[in-house]
A and B are shown apart, each in its own frame.
Chain A
Amino acid sequence: EIVLTQSPDTLSLSPGERATLSCRASQSVMSHYLAWYQQKPGQAPRLLISGTSSRATGIPDRFRGRGSGTDFTLTISSLEPEDFAVYYCQQYSSAQVTFGGGTKVEI
């Protein structure tokens, strides 16, 4: 099983600042199979990024994913008030899916 470790656990920032979230895998992950989700309190997760860097429908371009192998990053270029949430990375490999533990982006 591929373990995904996200860091930091919590990111305390202000609106307008840049957020950089890390997702590190215990084994190499194919780029096609790395996704990011956003979850707000009381809501289901929402797909932000798939295939490491492709934004899902309706996701603004301030969200950018990149990376390869075992190191992946989600960057929010300039935080909007609605971006304060928990973010999860997720991988698919050998018919198994795992999620990272999440990073909370708080004001």
Chain B
Amino acid sequence: QVQLQESGPGLVKPSQTLSLTCTVSGVSVSSGTYYWTWVRQPAGKGLEWIGRVSDSGSTSYNPSLKGRVTISEDTSTNQFSLRVTSVTAADTAVYYCARYSLFYYGMDVWGQGTTVTVSS
């Protein structure tokens, strides 16, 4: 059974860096048939795609995040990570990691989500 689990600080100060990790079980992040993805959702609002990393380490990001985002994978720990620099209150959201299947072309497995609040 494939499972994804987000972890990281729930509180980040403005201007600092938000760092989250997604631990994957039941499948290797080295698998070529998936993109490993981050999505966020501010309270009461819709879903926003942040970006993704592939098995080869290639990345793609939402242009609206203006170069503040880095997503990387660690095959030795079977994890992938998100870094968002220079955070503001607008980055406060529930952050989800998800598996984007290149067979189905959809996000077929999601983590439970983790809430990150940006506040001093």
**Residues of chain A from 42 to 56 with CB closer than 8 A to chain B in the complex:** 44-47, 49-51, 54, 56
The 7 tightest CB contacts between A and B, nearest first, are A50-B106, A35-B106, A44-B110, A97-B49, A50-B104, A95-B60, A99-B47
Q: Which of these, B46, B105, B110, contacts A51 with CB under 8 Å?
A: B105
Interface residue ranges, A against B (CB under 8 Å): 1, 32-33, 35, 37, 39, 44-47, 49-51, 54, 56, 88, 90, 92, 95-102
Interface residue ranges, B against A (CB under 8 Å): 37, 39, 46-49, 52, 60, 62-63, 96, 98, 100-101, 104-108, 110-113
**Number of interchain pairs (Cβ within 8 Å):** 68
Rounded to whole Å, the gap between the CB of A73 and the closest CB of chain B is 17
Asked if residues B112 and A99 are in contact (CB atoms below 8 Å), the reply is no
What residues of B have a CB within 8 angstroms of the CB of A90 in the complex?
47, 49, 106-107
30 intermolecular pairs with C-beta atoms under 8 Å apart: A35-B105, A35-B107, A37-B47, A37-B107, A44-B96, A45-B39, A45-B107, A47-B104, A47-B106, A47-B107, A47-B108, A49-B106, A50-B104, A50-B105, A50-B108, A51-B104, A51-B105, A88-B46, A88-B47, A90-B49, A90-B106, A92-B100, A95-B60, A97-B37, A97-B49, A97-B62, A97-B100, A99-B39, A99-B46, A101-B46
